[in-house]
Copies of this chain bind each other. A is one copy, B any other.
């Protein structure tokens, strides 16, 4: 069964698709009302985020666009210091999309939402004309996170002299998994698409003073750290030997001439933490789900070089690491 334009008309065919695919997997007390808005309990302050996912292929080693879309939005909410709670799901279906594929993707969204402890409370479905090829799928997930009563909101502008930079795991996995799949390269590389709820919750509960945190997505670690350096007017020094990269991704990068510093992840984060808390934080991350390969990778200085990001190479050289310019790998998220 394929998606047709009638599935987007707003009439009976749309209702049937929503019942048979979306409501079936997303069932919860708010969504089940199937109204245009969901009314949910909130807190005094909330975080809001939105992200559209246009990745191709729709299913890839280690994940799919459904899991990716939930992880992306959950992770954005976590990074603001909020507790992710509610997600909306806006689907753009291209005519010709296989309904069993759609069903798998929506089931994967539901499973990932459950893992991350969020509810998908409302949604919207539109259909666009097929313009050649298999029918595609674009997903927008927007989300609301509740801000705890007592909180410090981490910010890219809060990096301080003497901070330590921690990365929660191996760089480049999602980017390499997508690229490998597109190029038909056989490898064991899986996308790291994962919700970072456990890592962030454990860190927050420990009382560690997180100055800044950000998930490492499009543009890679280099782009995030350049934003940090710019916002806080600091210089950041990275140590190449400590950057966590799996041997499979490392080999993949060498063959294709890619730099893991610019590759996107979908289940990794970077933090800036006072040096005094850094070993404790590293231990907490390593014991959390999806944090086992965490590493301290750099240091922060308030000096004349700021704002700047440097890389101290394995052979002792030092080079400037700029943000991503021009075109990275398109449509990886």
Contacts and interface: CB of A to CB of B under 8 A. Distances in A.
Interface string A18-59: 000000000000000101111111111111111111100000
Given A45-B40, A126-B52, A127-B330, A138 B11 contact: no
A144 interface: yes
Contact of A145 (B37, B43, B50): B37
Interface stretch (A85-93, A103-111, A239-247): A85-93
A4 B325 CA distance: 13
A35 B89 contact: no
A76 B121 CA distance: 14
A79 interface: yes
A54 B126 contact: yes
A42 B49 contact: no
B12 A323 contact: yes
A332 B221 CA distance: 41
A8 interface: yes
A5 B330 contact: yes
Interface in A74-128: 76-77, 79-82, 86, 88-92, 121-124, 126-128
Contacts of A40: 45-48
Contacts of A168: none
A169 to B, nearest CB: 19
Contact of A36 (B79, B122, B328, B330): B79
Given A36-B79, A39-B45, A140-B140, A90 B50 contact: yes
B52 A92 contact: yes
A15 B324 CA distance: 10
A326 interface: yes
Nearest to A146: B42
Nearest to A8: B330
Interface in A141-170: 142, 144-145, 147, 153, 155-156
Main secondary structure of the interface of A (DSSP, over half): mixed
A124 B4 CA distance: 28
Contacts of A54: 8, 92, 126-128
Given A46-B40, A50-B89, A92-B54, A142 B142 contact: yes
Contacts of A144: 46, 48, 144
Contacts of A41: 44-45
B327 A13 contact: yes
B10 A79 contact: no
A50 B139 CA distance: 11
21 contacts: A4-B327, A6-B326, A9-B327, A9-B330, A10-B324, A11-B219, A11-B326, A12-B323, A12-B324, A12-B325, A39-B81, A48-B122, A49-B88, A50-B124, A88-B142, A90-B90, A127-B330, A128-B331, A129-B331, A132-B132, A138-B138
